[in-house]
Structure 1
Amino acid sequence: MTVLVSYKNISKTNSSNIVFFVDEKFNISNIKNYISRSEFSFISDLIKSKKLTKKILYFDISSKRQIILVSSSGKIKSSEAENLGAEFYNIFKTSTQKEFIINSDSVTNNLINFLGYFLLGIQLKSYSFDKYKSKKNQKKINITITGKKIPSLKDQNKFKAIKEGTFYARDLVSEPGNILHPDEYVKRIRALKKEGLQIKVYDEKKLKKLGMNTLLGVGQGSIRGSYLVTIEWKGLKDNSKPLAFVGKGVCFDTGGISLKPAKFMEDMTYDMAGSAVVVGLMKSLALRKAKVNAVGVVGLVENMPGGNAQRPGDIVKSYSGKTVEILNTDAEGRLVLADALTYTEEKFKPKFIIDLATLTGAIIVSLGSEYAGLFSNNDKLSNELIEAGEKVEEKVWRMPLNKNFDKLIDSKNADMQNINYVGGAGSTTAAQFLQRFILNKTPWAHLDIAGMAFSKYGGALNSGGATGYGVRLLNKLIEDKYE
């Protein structure tokens, strides 16, 4: 279902469905001037007879007219406003009423941009991926914001950019593997040039010349190409160091020669979710003309078994010069990220690097689908991510890194091995592996989003499927701390 939002600078309307905001006790004195006396009396009497346990009440004034009351506390948080919008969508998505007027003048809480967050919640919850269904949901909800407190054009564009970036990430993750293979993915990223992003694509020939053998090794069993793509946004006129975001883009992960079980393998289309977050974030930054320099780097491969596939026992030399013994070809994401991380640090010399990846099943065992795992070499960056995550309810939980874990990935035959065969600490040893490819002590954080990128049952702001987790988190980090 599509949600369409428009704005009109009028205060009164005789619309069939009108939405007002009231306080927690459903005190409606603030809407008295916007409805008739009889409607006011009718609603007042009904409120007195209701147990006020819900945050949204609606009253059928006639067969063609509803008055809807949305209650909020005076100290409401932005995430609560978004959840309120999602609740509004849930109530009315099956309603026969599809036209709503929202009266902005009735907003009484103190949250800056309350309406923006409320509308964003409605839109995020409305997302669906029905591209390949022969019968699509053609229904639309038309929402018109009226009054003197409508969001400014700048704020409208900001929230639209966040929605567009999140939806773009969700779209990428939702695509099947036969459609969104690395070759097609590159085409879609290149199309973002029209938003003002600078795109550079490194194909296999260029990657071989650079010596990115850990990344190339993952994709060598596939008939599709392997790529590293850099996406730059220059929102500042100076040449200040950019913020860097690196994403794992394994478009489909069979496990390679270390083949995964057949059950649920179809879900491995979302093993590129880390890269989708990076691409979606960069699109958001460009759309809202963010006052920051940033770069997104994604490694795009397909991990397939085949006559040319990487074997367990192979030893490869990374871009950093360090050698890796491949003990399990299904521990492939860290190999893609290894080359991408070192290249990003060396090429762009960023203020920090944050990588995102659906890296380990172990993080789901640890944190389920409530938190992403955070591993970092920097307390300041970690605390900023935790704070941003709490604000947008895309939460992270810091997990340990320690040199004592290094012995679990040391190899007898190379500088390191790509898995810990002793057992235990699967997510930590994966992060410990990645840390070895940060060579110049750049502040770095790794987000293991395996439990967050895809939801079978839906969450507060999504209805199931790809979540786009990470776009809003990183956008909030940038907005609060680096613009």
Structure 2
Amino acid sequence: MRISFGAPKIPTRGIIVLFVSKGGKLSQVGQNIDQTCKGALKRSLKVANFEAKLGDKITVFAPSGYTNATFILVGVGESKQYNELRAQKVGAAIIEALQSSKELTAVIMSEIQNSSLVDNTLLAANIAFGARLRSYAYEKYKTKKESSDQKSSIKKLTFMLDRPNIARKKFEGLSKIADGVDFARDLVSEPSNIKTPKWMAQQCRKLSRLGVKVEVLGETQMKKLQMNALLGVGQGSVNESQCVIMSWNGNKESKKTLGLIGKGVTFDTGGISLKPANGMEEMIWDMGGAGSVIGTMCSIAGRNAKANVVGVVGLVENMPDGNAQRPGDIVKSMSGQTIEVINTDAEGRLVLADLLWYAQKRFKPAAMIDLATLTGAIMVALGREYAGLYTSNEAFGQKIIAAGKCVNEKLWHMPLDPEYDKQINSPRADMKNIGPRWGGSITAAQFLQRFTNGIDWAHLDIAGVAWSDKNKDTMEKGATAFGVRTLDQLIQDHYELK
């Protein structure tokens, strides 16, 4: 979908979007159009008892004076409450309204009755951003559409407002973030018969076009590095495991680097500790953490972020086979610590253990954040609305939570404690890969902390939020790319050269 910005000019045909504030207040341009329509817009609002709540919509067809036009009136709520997030929801509402239309283009008269402190050009840019996010659909493998599913594919949105060049400039950075979000969604949505570890690594190579340095380690190289915890997970698969390192050096004046680590299990059967058949198809998105790391690297490179960031993702397939890892096996991780594998379905932490050690040993980052669809236990604790956040540094964790609030990705601070850590001690090795039944997400985080070597670290368990079974404010159900926007915001706030 193409998005453009232009100076205010009221079209006479096609779809025209106008905004309505609480109390049925049309913008000045809306009032001018209503006069030409002989009051048709206000009458429609009154007849429909239109409250103009955020996202409310009503359509007015061919009013007097505009017989070749269709007006979509979109509620924006209380004018003094306008901010970037609300603007994004307005953009999403526009897409929802347009999807049932047969028109391929629309003009948005972006003037808003705005009594907030947010500049109208910034609001317009964020309305466009919300529209861009909401317009995403993964239909790569659909050869035909059911009539009930038919939605028009909007080709172009034109936003009309004063100072369009300023709004366009502000949207440019947001559009690069949307590129990263959409890239992550594509990766997570891809079926696993296509999405092998090598296929994923090849997708990462595409980031080199944006200036990202991409390195791929195969199994031979990982064996030399003694990444035995990661390699053990994939040893039952015919698809070779991969480790991808993506480096972005946008601030030559600083050595401060942020490390992003992603679990990339391209399909998870559970291995010998086999999962139940019911719901196993959902394991195509067990690489959601890696997808978010890759999407973040795409976003920051696309907008040329003045920061140094390295992304490391481990790509494996966890399959049952005569060569697969067994419960009771003991592996020696890259750190030298030994791990008793009690359950082969607790495989993500084995992948992350070697990645965390590799990243801190090679790049010596100021801080590391890992993202993983790690445990079902986090969904028992938090449901499907919040991701769990664990951290070795409270101040660092609060920065991540604050970044999440800015972009409406919700994180809940979860505990770490020596008493939980004791629960993963093993009588046969340095540790085991699962603890007792209770607090499973916590003991998984305690396991990961043993491989961080004391640097500032945070773990985001995104198992409940990487995929949504219902529509969200700015996206349809499916892959969410949770974490891309939070990480990008964190980098803007704390790691970019000002």
TM bucket, shorter chain: over 0.9
Is 1:245 aligned to 2:251, yes or no? no
Distance 1:110 1:49 in 2: 33
Distance 1:152 1:122, change over 3 A: closer
**Which has the larger displacement, 6-15 or 152-161?**
6-15
Q: Are the equivalent residues in 1 in contact too, given 2:129–2:171 (CA < 8 A)? A: no
Distance 1:161 1:32, change over 3 A: closer
Residue 87 of structure 1: how far off its partner (Å): 1.9
Distance 1:302 1:381 in 2: 32
Distance 1:241 1:300 in 2: 26
Q: Are the equivalent residues in 2 in contact too, given 1:11–1:105 (CA < 8 A)? A: no
What runs of 5+ residues in structure 1 fail to find an aligned partner?
none
Residue 107 of structure 1: how far off its partner (Å): 5.9
| AA in 2 matched with 1:64 | N
Distance 1:358 1:32, change over 3 A: closer
Residue 320 of structure 1: how far off its partner (Å): 0.8
Of 69, 72, 78, which residue of structure 1 is paired with 2:73? 69
Match of 1:455 in 2: 468
Secondary structure, counterpart of 1:16 in structure 2: strand
CA deviation profile, 1:28-49 (whole Å, cap 9, x unmatched): 3512675373326332344344
Of 221, 228, 231, which residue of structure 2 is paired with 1:216? 231
Match of 1:353 in 2: 368
Match of 1:379 in 2: 394
| AA in 2 matched with 1:431 | A
CA deviation profile, 1:418-462 (whole Å, cap 9, x unmatched): 011x320100000000000011x2111100000001112232222
Q: Are the equivalent residues in 2 in contact too, given 1:39–1:61 (CA < 8 A)? A: no
**Which has the larger displacement, 225-234 or 28-37?**
28-37
| AA in 2 matched with 1:369 | R
Secondary structure, counterpart of 1:391 in structure 2: helix
Distance 2:485 2:414 in 1: 21
Q: Are the equivalent residues in 2 in contact too, given 1:20–1:68 (CA < 8 A)? A: yes
Residue 269 of structure 1: how far off its partner (Å): 0.8
Alignment of structure 1 residues 55-454 onto 2, 5 Å? 55-62=56-63, 64-72=68-76, 73-106=79-112, 108=114, 109-112=116-119, 113-135=122-144, 139-141=152-154, 142-150=156-164, 151-420=166-435, 422-439=436-453, 441-454=454-467
Match of 1:17 in 2: 15
Distance 1:31 1:153, change over 3 A: closer
| AA in 2 matched with 1:111 | V
Secondary structure, counterpart of 2:442 in structure 1: helix
Q: Which runs of 4 or more aligned residues in structure 1 lie more than 6 Å from their structure 2 counterparts after TM superposition?
A: none
For this pair of structures, how many residues does the alignment match? 479
Q: Are the equivalent residues in 2 in contact too, given 1:204–1:225 (CA < 8 A)? A: yes
Structure 2 length-normalised TM: 0.92
Q: Are the equivalent residues in 2 in contact too, given 1:17–1:66 (CA < 8 A)? A: yes
Is 1:468 aligned to 2:468, yes or no? no
Q: Are the equivalent residues in 1 in contact too, given 2:12–2:69 (CA < 8 A)? A: no
Q: Are the equivalent residues in 2 in contact too, given 1:20–1:107 (CA < 8 A)? A: no
Q: Are the equivalent residues in 2 in contact too, given 1:241–1:348 (CA < 8 A)? A: no
Q: Are the equivalent residues in 2 in contact too, given 1:31–1:106 (CA < 8 A)? A: no
CA deviation profile, 1:200-258 (whole Å, cap 9, x unmatched): 11111111111111001101111111111110111112242211110000000011111
Distance 1:375 1:44 in 2: 52
Distance 1:154 1:345, change over 3 A: farther
CA deviation profile, 1:76-120 (whole Å, cap 9, x unmatched): 232222122222222221123432111234463543411222122
Residue 398 of structure 1: how far off its partner (Å): 0.6
Q: Are the equivalent residues in 2 in contact too, given 1:23–1:74 (CA < 8 A)? A: no
Residue 23 of structure 1: how far off its partner (Å): 2.9
RMSD between aligned alpha carbons? 1.9
What runs of 5+ residues in structure 2 fail to find an aligned partner?
none
Distance 1:479 1:362 in 2: 32
Q: Are the equivalent residues in 2 in contact too, given 1:12–1:34 (CA < 8 A)? A: no
Match of 2:6 in 1: 8
Q: Are the equivalent residues in 1 in contact too, given 2:125–2:168 (CA < 8 A)? A: no
Secondary structure, counterpart of 1:432 in structure 2: helix
Distance 1:381 1:58 in 2: 47
**Which has the larger displacement, 131-140 or 363-372?**
131-140
Distance 1:107 1:190 in 2: 46
Structure 1 length-normalised TM: 0.94
